[in-house]
Amino acid sequence: MDQGQGGGFLRRWRLLLDHTHLTLNRDVTAIGGAYAFLKEATLRFQEKTILYYVGCAVMNSTCCGTGGVCFARVPGVVLNLKYKTDDSGVPISLVEPIVDKSIQKQIRQRLQETERVQQVEF
């Protein structure tokens, strides 16, 4: 954690995370079907860079029929993009998760409009 601005007992603490970048175009089998992340991108929002992924899921092995959905996953605000790699050579970025519900709502709306996803996870 990193200390943000503030003083005394009212200090604001920020949660900073190392985010290991997801592998694209690889099916992940789940109980009801499979999903894959198809795109990694960034979005400029309020002078910050937001990292996100777009994926699709297919439910084809459920008892209730078949279906599908496209979604976005938002790790957070990029503080240091691909600044190191893990032991396998996969890039790692330093991000700050977006926890403010009003900011999440605005980003969700932008991604639903631009990426045509039905669901956005933070």
Q: What is the pLDDT of residues 65-75, one digit of tens each?
A: 788 999 999 99
pLDDT tops 80 at residue 4: no
Of 51, 63, 59, 66, nearest to 111 by C-alpha is 51
| pLDDT tens digit sequence for 76-111 | 999 999 999 999 999 999 999 999 999 999 999 999
How far, in Å, CA of 109 to CA of 116, rounded? 10
pLDDT score for 12: 61
Domain chopping of the chain, boundaries: 23-121
How far, in Å, CA of 9 to CA of 48, rounded? 28
106 phi/psi in degrees, rounded to 5 = -65, -45
Kindly state the helix (H) or strand (E) to which residue 108 belongs, with its residue range.
helix 101-115
Per-residue pLDDT band for 7 (boundaries 50, 70, 90) equals very low
| pLDDT tens digit sequence for 13-45 | 789 999 999 999 999 998 889 999 999 999 999
